[in-house]
Amino acid sequence: MDTAASPLPDDVEALKALLAAALSRADDAEARLAKARARESAIEALIAHLKLQIARLRREQYGASAERSRRLLDQLELQLEDLEADACENDCAAEAAAAKTSEVAAFDRKRPSRKPFPEHLPRERVVIPAPCSCPSCGSARLSKLGEDITETLEVIPRQWKVIRTVREKFSCRDCETITQPPAPFHVVPRGWAGPSFLAMLLFEKYGQHQPLNRQAERFAREGVALSTSTLADQVGAAAFALMPLYRRIEAHVLDAARIHGDDTTVPVMAKGKTDTARLWVYVRDDRPFAGSDPPAALFHYSRDRRGEHPREHLASWAGILQADAYGGYNELYAPGRQPAPVIEAGCFAHARRKFFELADVEGAARRRSRGGRNGMIYPIALEAVQRLDALFEIERGINGKTPGERVALRQERSAPLMAGLHAWLTAQLAKLSRSHDMAKAINYMLRRWGAFTRFLDDGRICITNNAAERALRCVPLGRKAWLFCGSDRGGQRAAVLYTLIQTARLNDVDPQAWLADVLARIAGHPAHRIDELLPWNWESGRARIAA
């Protein structure tokens, strides 16, 4: 019986050569595969980057749609993060694979451009020792031609220190009187926490939504063991010390002729459960009509959503209130209300949202794919959204102009659109039953048409209540981290700190740096000059000191 001849040689050297060639081909194949993966990852990252840019440009050009475009941008940003990380990882793998072979070149990925490091960061110069002699001829006659500098960003872990304040005692040799300098101020009586530590504690809890128990765990890992109850003492004392600033911001907001109002839910602990409490916000922002007064946000807390709360918050105020159609505001609009009736201004964003939900084609497709209720898509709703978007487009062009200029442009461009919208909505309503979803969306506007058209005659009025909704955004973000307030006092304290932090953000001031400086100075600061510590005055004061 004949046996098949083996394709492999019997010679050892020939086998070694054959194995080396096979390994070389395997390395080449591996390098080409890694290069292909790196190229594919780079292309995917580039596509994601371009999609994100297109979405941002569309948002800027066609207007901010809070219902969908914000979620889309968040999803695209998260996707881009992962794809960029994948592309870098595959690029490194391709370089390592290409180093094993001379046949395949490494993949050269176009990396995202990096901005220069900020100039205010300190620079540490590390010089690599140069050779003492020429590596070619051994001569020691070397002359410096220049240098190449590579900058690497590094971080120093948070440093803790204990400040020992020494107060020396002296005795007078003549009268036997003992003298000693007064003790330094602490936010907490006989306290131990410095102003920078307190500012970090407050900002992490209310600005970055990190509960005290998580902060305590992080401090312990850094070698500083502090209990949650100890940190809570500092938070309560700091909030008490900052109350004068809260009162001044409250007076500033209620001194405005026009404010935005809104509220959101906040869970609060009850016996064996959580109740749904409320955080209310009132925002003063005169920048849309070129006002010179600084913006500010005022928060209040209440256990429920009864209408008595906004009436109490705005008891001494009268002006233009931009808000949604919450019934608790109705008594503020009453003609006989004292000191004067509040003037209602409608929010087109709320009105548009009702039509948008009925015209959300993509949302209906998503619900259908998940097996949910397939809502109807109404062409009437789509046309309503388009008509409202035309008004938003006009507003973007006049944002920042004076009230007179805004009124003139609105009378010229927006008034005809509003008249056409009213006639169109009335005609569509006549074709629908009263219980129809579209009828409810149309009646939301027609029953408040006076409030929705008031912006045509007053240049100070915005067509949306987005200023209040932006200020409230910190609360839903925080709810995912701290879940609920521990008590009503905790909710009131949160309202105070939210007021300070969000007002600082509205004025482009670093909240933590501002709080640290204020906590260090507020005890010795004259009460009649407390306005100097407000966020919009604090930055200018620091600039004068620096000059």
pLDDT at residue 518, as a whole number: 92
pLDDT at residue 242, as a whole number: 92
Which is nearest to 483 in space by CA: 265, 193, 263, 200? 265
CB 58 within 8 A of CB 68: no
CB 521 within 8 A of CB 533: yes
Amino acid letter at 421? L
Q: Kindly give the parts of the chain with pLDDT less than 70.
A: 1-6, 39, 42, 44-46, 48-97, 99-100, 102-114, 188-190, 272, 361-376, 482-484, 539-547
Token output for 201: 């504690």
Rounded-to-5 percentages of helix, strand, coil across the chain: 55, 10, 40
H or E segment to which residue 190 belongs: none
pLDDT at residue 1, as a whole number: 44
pLDDT at residue 405, as a whole number: 93
What crossing angle do the helices spanning 195-202 and 228-241 adopt, rounded to 10°?
100
Amino acid letter at 63? G
> Cα–Cα distance between 184 and 195 in angstroms, integer?
12
pLDDT at residue 90, as a whole number: 63
> Cα–Cα distance between 515 and 305 in angstroms, integer?
31
What counts of helices (H) and strands (E) characterise the chain? 19, 7
> Cα–Cα distance between 436 and 460 in angstroms, integer?
35
133 contacts: CB under 8 Å, gap ≥ 6: 139, 140, 142
Place of tokens 């913006």: 295
What pTM, to 2 d.p., does this model score? 0.77
> Cα–Cα distance between 83 and 94 in angstroms, integer?
16
> Cα–Cα distance between 24 and 16 in angstroms, integer?
12
CB 307 within 8 A of CB 329: yes
Neighbours of 121 (CB within 10 A): 10
pLDDT at residue 369, as a whole number: 57
Neighbours of 380 (CB within 10 A): 19
pLDDT at residue 67, as a whole number: 45
pLDDT at residue 5, as a whole number: 55
CB 341 within 8 A of CB 333: yes
- In DSSP notation, 446-515 reads HTTHHHHHGGGT-TT--S--HHHHHHHTHHHHHHHHH-SBSSHHHHHHHHHHHHHHHHHHHTT--HHHHH
**Positive or negative: CA dihedral 366, 368, 371, 372:** positive
> Cα–Cα distance between 390 and 282 in angstroms, integer?
28
pLDDT at residue 164, as a whole number: 86
pLDDT at residue 32, as a whole number: 73
